[in-house]
Amino acid sequence: MRYGTMQPQRPWMKAGLAIVPVVITLLLGQWATFPNLAEWYAGLAKPAFNPPNWIFGPVWTCLYALMAFAVWRIWMLPADAPGRSSALILFHLQLAFNAAWSWAFFALHSPTLGLIDIVPQWILILVTVQRFHRLDRIAAYSLSPVAIWVAFAIALNVEIWRLNG
């Protein structure tokens, strides 16, 4: 089959393929985080640049929406587009690391495990942005704020680890 001669696109199915994993990640993160905010996280020493807790919900909601939009654009490419499959694999790997971070940091009460997760997560995000850029610049630009926020989260995680070690 030649590139670009695939069967007609199914935008609603592709939207589901984009949205469902992102929503599952969001819900898994909330499940691990919320029960541990008042009892554990509130008692940790935090750096001066730690945002108030209410910031995280809106920021992550926007970031998850951008992730779903970005991956939807990649799903909408022809299945035989060079690099599409590896870009989708990388996206879903970084998404798995995203979900795992909440469990490592919050549920297990471990800034150390959070760091062990978030650094490779960030690297996966950067590689995903690069792969998306080869396929669709808008998708790459849409995922870029996630890379910036996770870089900030690394700094925050490092400082919480340092202050509470």
Identity of residue 158: V
Percentage, residues of the chain above pLDDT 90: 83
Residues in the chain, how many?
Answer: 165
How do residues 8-22 score in pLDDT, each as one tens digit?
567 778 787 889 899
The model carries a pTM of 0.90
Instruction: State how far the Cα of 106 lies from the Cα of 38, in Å rounded to an integer.
Output: 11
Q: What is the rounded distance in angstroms from the CA atom of residue 77 to the CA atom of residue 152?
A: 31
Q: How far is CA 9 from the centre of its chain?
A: 26
**Separation between Cα atoms, residue 33 and residue 41, nearest integer Å:** 9
Q: What is the pLDDT of residue 12?
A: 75
User: Sorting pLDDT into bands at 50, 70 and 90, what band is 59?
Assistant: very high
In the structure encoding, which two tokens stand for residue 158, read together? Answer: 């490092």
Does position 6 have pLDDT exceeding 90, yes or no?
no
Mean pLDDT of the chain: 92
The answer to whether 36 and 107 have CB atoms below 8 angstroms apart is: yes
